[in-house]
Structure 1
Amino acid sequence: MASFLTQREQELTCPICRDIFQCPVFLSCSHSVCKACLQRWWTAKPTKECPVCNTRSSQDEPPINLALKNLCETFLEERNHTSPICTRHGEKLLLFCLEDEQLACLVCRDSEKHAGHKFKPIDEAAQCLREEPLKSLRPLKRKMEDWEEKGKYNYECAAELIEEQAKLTERQIKKQFKKLRQFLDQEEEARISAVSEEKRQKSGTVIGMFEGLNREMTALSDTIRDVEADDVSFIQNYKATVERVHRRLPDPPSLPEGALIDMAKHLGNLTFKVWDKMKDIVSYTPIILDPNTAHSYLVLSDDLTSVHYDDWTHCGTIPDVPERFDLDEVVRASEGFSSGSHTWDVEVGDNPYWELGALEEPLRKRRHRAGRHWTLELERQSKSDAPGEAVSSGSEMDLRKYTAVYSPGESEKMDLGNATAVSSSGSETELSVDQKPRRIRVHLDWERGELSFSDSDSNAHLHTFTHTKFTGRVFPYIRCLFDDVPLKVLTRKVCVSLENHNTSQNIILTVQNRSKEFQEFQFDPITTTSHNCPVNAFK
């Protein structure tokens, strides 16, 4: 029986995939092949020929071999529902050998190989063997449910968000480039109009001079003609002709300086001049917020410079990614600093609950801030709380409490242990603020280990964290807890200038903040490399 089935399988096997036919087609040479296999075979070959005998097919779409298709389906159905066959004896496997832990047929039971062995029917053996795995099945089912509910849903949310982010990013890129193209088109039109206007003026000047020259030449030609005229005419016009002959004639007029188009003015450093003028439509933001790190209750603006609190917009639709803060309503900047001095201004306005500061790596652990962080925060209190700045809110008087907070982070707490419990708990300093700041300036000096906060409008100093030894990248971050007033990172004005030195000429790209302070970037015109110049920047 085993040899019969083997022979039958051979007859029902596709010569290409070596498996039971799937939707076989009948070729003109009488061979049959799976339809999908034939299509792949013909795609790889220059001619449509039989894969068995290489006979060229007369049909582009060979018909389905229905008889063979039915035989294959019947065979597969029988094989799936028929008891397995012993490969040694060709009998059905009905027993399970307890000593060898393998299936056996009735002939195997009586053979020398299984002499003295105990056997059980397959169903009884399966029931006994299934008891142990069933004990571990419940936690596996719970894990499966967890994967189904959380993991799969998280992946679906991630896929949807990736699609949404891609569309939003593309839309913003197109919007920005459209703005640049509009500027370039307008600038091109203005410069071409300037060339046309100069052409009109200077062409008019040259044409006027040419017409004047023609008049002089006509008068001179008349005088020459009168002198060379016949005797009667000459005598009749003698006096007038003599006067014209002896009249002092000017030299042929020459073109004045600047009569031609000033091509150097229009073409010289054209791209630099356009770039310089482009500063009016270009803004620079010192830090860009990373939406992938934002708490699900925070919503960022399209340009990633503003954030506000909204506990409904993204509720339940944000995938859980490693960089996202889940327990703190925090969003961090997309880039961290590991050297140099850096300054950014944040407009807080009338927002009564916020935190601004810097966070050191590691950034996130167990769904909240894990590394050291330095913060200036504002919270509104009732009149029964600690004294602070009184402000009016509706019919009540609230107190605004400004606090500078240092948190050492989990890693430092674990390293310090109980011996330095005071320092490991961080520090909190309540600040005395005379006038409510609406814009906060944060200045980081990585080498000196300082992080300072001040009022951006009045330059009033608020607080400085000193004697801090930064060990890793430091990321600016914002925490927003109030939905009516967004927190916005302020942009800066861009200026372009040219500096002459004894041996070189540098292009200076200057970024100006609200207090007329500058940060400069030098560009070498020869190497086109840039150099950050933080000297005296934002001090």
Structure 2
Amino acid sequence: MTSFLFILILSFIAHPVNNMGPVQFTVTGPLSPVTATLGEDVVLRYHLFPRTSVQNMEIKWFRSQNSSYVHYYQSGRDYSERQQVKYQGRTQFLRDGIDEGKVDLRIFNVSLFDEGEYYCSVNNGSFYQETSWDVKVTALGPAPVISIEGYKKAGIRAVCQSSGWYPRPKMLWRDPSGKHLSSFQRNFQMDNGLFDVHNEIIVTQSSNHNLTCVVRNILLNKEKESTIHIAIDVFPHTSPWIVGLCISLVVSLGLALSIPYLFKINRTLAAELGWRNMVMPIEKANITLDPETANHDLILSADQKNVIQGFMWHRLPDNPKRFDMERCVLGSEGFSSGRHYWEVEVGEEGYWAVGVARDSVRRKGRLTLDPKEGIWAVEKCRVQYQALTVPETPLSLRKSPRKLGIYLDYEMEQVAFHDVSHKTPIFTFRLAPLNGERVFPFLHVGVGCWLTLLLEAYALPCECMKLPSTESGTWSIKMATPNPEKFLQDEATCSICLDYFQDPVMVINCGHNFCRNCITQCCEGSPFKAIPCPQCRRPFPWKNLHPNRHLWNIVDLAKQFSNKRANETGDLCQKHREPLKLFCEHDQTPICVVCDRSKAHKNHSVVPIEEAAQVYRGKLQHYLQVLKEDREEILSHKSELEKPTQDLLKDTAAERKKLSLELQQLRKLFEKEEQRLLSQLDEVEKEVEKREAENVTAFSEEISRLDALIRELEQKCQEPPCGLLQNIGSTMNRCKDKFQLPVTRDSSELKRKLQILSKESALLQADLKKFKETLSEPKWIEENVMLDQETAHPRFLVSDDRRSVSWGSFRQEVPYSPKRFEPARCVLGSHGFMSGKHHWTVDVEDGTFWAVGVAQESVQRKGKFNFVPEEGVWAVGFSNGQYKALTSPPDFLMLLTHPNKIQVYLDYENEAVTFWDPEEHAELYRFESANFKGKTLFPFFRIGDMKTSLLLC
């Protein structure tokens, strides 16, 4: 199997690309999703940069990549006949700013159907640009209705209900002090797509009887509430038999619910067994991809087994089979009978869809991927897997599949999907009547996706499929480039060192190649597991590099071409075919005698080429020596910086071993002491049990004697006088015998032993208490944070005591510093933390755009960056009237009050950052498992406008 680079080089030689013109404009717009209210209008605002008139351009708005147009405009005319039916009469292209490059579309009477991703493409005839954005639809329902539903668990069941909300709202209960109460919420999505939310709470006599139910729209940060008062007279009194009855009912209900679960497990196992029995006997089909059906953006491998989305649009011959707008490709082999099975390897990123399609599936224009169009497939979009039914069926997969097995039973008219890696069924389609029509394997790759299907070969453009594979031994290619040798030499050059590849390695994620030493130097020292590719900037795990032996052969071939060309030309001037005997010092290039007499080098200083070579060889040797010295100096500094770290790691390992040994000894000591004390307690317990047994035996014997005597006297009383008086004396004497109580044994010795054990236990408890106090966690330290002026943005005004900061009206005269934030409007605290628990308070009352938190010392200072944990920043902020945690994407905070102060709590050992409202005594947000990576953390502050100032309390 040949390498991707070699095939790509050959494809460019055979088919030069003619549409690689300069970029003329870009389409830009809002970075965050557009929020639209149900039933109202929304305007999607985008514009061209630089500002260019779109009067005579083609503009298309459409939903995702498998739908027809939302709106279509071309050269001053709107084509309503090309719209989706649901958008006809509901869209308007706003032409007020059409000459200024504005591309604004209004959608009237927004419905839930309008929510999702939209694409906008602009084409001026020679250049094409496309962008996308999200529309979020929201709806506010009425104020909640509270009702009393009866008694439950010695209390009253109160139910709060409200309908007509979107998206799923948050409903909660709170008491007059604002404290949130524990409750149970249920959400129901009605036929119109809106949510009906119920929340119930059990109110007891001891709880507060004034309750407020609040329902909140998370996107709009708006809420509605209702309040109820419950009189104490209505509360029930619980009887013991009711409690017993409730317990019995709960146990019975648990047993009843377990039965369907067991049946569900049984059905799952039966389904998996059925899949195995159905698929395993089928011989795998040898599927290849049909290049005549592949979209212009797709690249197929030489063996027609793999497909990826290419880097550019390929000019391919149009034919009725080819998908012109959807990035799809079909298999070469179709099926009109029998049972067939094949597998597809899928990646973890991007969008893809895999399945089967009719031979009559539409190839031109926008296409909806569903059974109505003759497509039966499953897809991955972002992190969601779903079957492309009407509507889509979400798939709950515990693990992401790496390989899909596809089973087609033509006679049974069904296609089933199976996770081969985890051996579990995914979904089964019932096909529409096929009536003998052929069915083809179907693949779809989304926009901007680097997804690779069937990672078994490297890729080349679709038009190169007619080239023989490397297994045939030879290539027959017509060189179409003006200088193919130079093109081959350029492609054999590393983009980092600009020299021929040395020990080339390939980045699997994107296919780019570099010298092993060059890419290793770029990766070393990076704190991240994934770094951007130096050529395309796509992130990849920096240790995921694979040797590219085929490229090594190409490099040798390029060197041979270069040496052969030099030997053939004998260092001749390419223009005049004369020997290069002179050197132009002005142009810094070798020339021939004819060049020296030409106008191009008139009045230039020219010397013999041997003299110039000797002079420049000396200069190069000087620079070579300087560079070697610089390299040695850098290596020396590197070793000096690494030595303290290595020493610290050794000390840490030694301390870990020492601590483990001490704790092990301590555990053994505790175990030995436990055995000694328990053994003494067992001895006391056995002695007490022995004495108790002796007493029980004595009393039992006397009771038996008395029972026998009573029975004898009862019989005597029934006998006649002679029988009654027979042996009367002996009988009377036995009646006069008194029971002798067992002798009470002295238990003082046992009490003394127990007292001794009790004293030892008390001493042990005291020692444990002291030990726990010694091991108790460190106390929270209230820090006196001061601002570091060297890190402050040039327009920041920091007070003399370095306790407050605001945004100035002009740039301050400050010296350049690598620590200073610019253009990011930020400042750090002057003192950092690498351990312990610390907290400080920030006054944010006078602020409309701010953020506070902590940041790593290594956080980016120059250029734009995202204020998210991945960049080393853990913070919360306020902007546009909304509180949010600065995550990716932002986590909006639904706060009932506007805090005037924010307390920041940093727990370094537990890797947690918590934000607290000290006035409301409420937690605002908490970052857990923050992964500080052992780096120093500094207090972090950000100001976004001139109305905001921050004050450290």
- Structure exhibiting the larger radius of gyration computed from Cα positions: 1
TM superposition score category, shorter chain reference:
0.3 to 0.5
Whose helix proportion is higher, 1 or 2?
A: 1
TM-score (norm 2): 0.21
Higher RCO, 1 vs 2 (CA within 8 Å, ≥6 residues apart)? 1
The structure in which a higher percent of residues are strand is 2
